[in-house]
Amino acid sequence: MTGNICVYCPGGPDSDFEYSTQSYTGYEPTSMRAIRARYDPFLQTRHRVDQLRQLGHSVDKIEFIVMGGTFMSLPEDYRDYFIRNLHDALTGHISKDVSEAVRFVTEN
């Protein structure tokens, strides 16, 4: 240990990035995008899709990779909120639950 920062888990409140998760430094490109969006799943997705379009990439197919080994230990309502907002950001549609969000993005 070095102060309050674990050598193996450098993130957390004492890292350079106050909002970095414990197991990431905050300097990874994906972590930096999440920090800029204040971890808002809708904004993270919206900004990344816009960025990929500007770079000339096709965004016809999207794969979400949720970083972090503890996501499933978070409260179910937060997990649902997070996944729903990832999907809602693709269409701009605001869904009431995950199944509606997935259905809407699949059909549109």
Can you give the residue ranges of every domain in the chain?
7-36, 40-107
Rounded Cα gap, residues 26 and 29, in angstroms? 8
Digit-coded pLDDT (tens) for 64-77 = 998 777 788 888 99
Give residue 31's pLDDT.
Answer: 81
Q: Is the pTM of the predicted complex or chain greater than 0.85?
A: no
Give residue 51's pLDDT.
Answer: 95
Rounded Cα gap, residues 70 and 59, in angstroms? 28
Q: Please report how the helices 29-36 and 41-54 are oriented relative to each other, as an axis angle in degrees rounded to 10.
A: 120
- CB atoms < 10 A from the CB of 103, how many? 13
Rounded Cα gap, residues 41 and 47, in angstroms? 10
User: Which of 13-17, 27-31, 48-52, 64-68 reaches the highest mean pLDDT?
Assistant: 48-52
Give residue 2's pLDDT.
Answer: 40
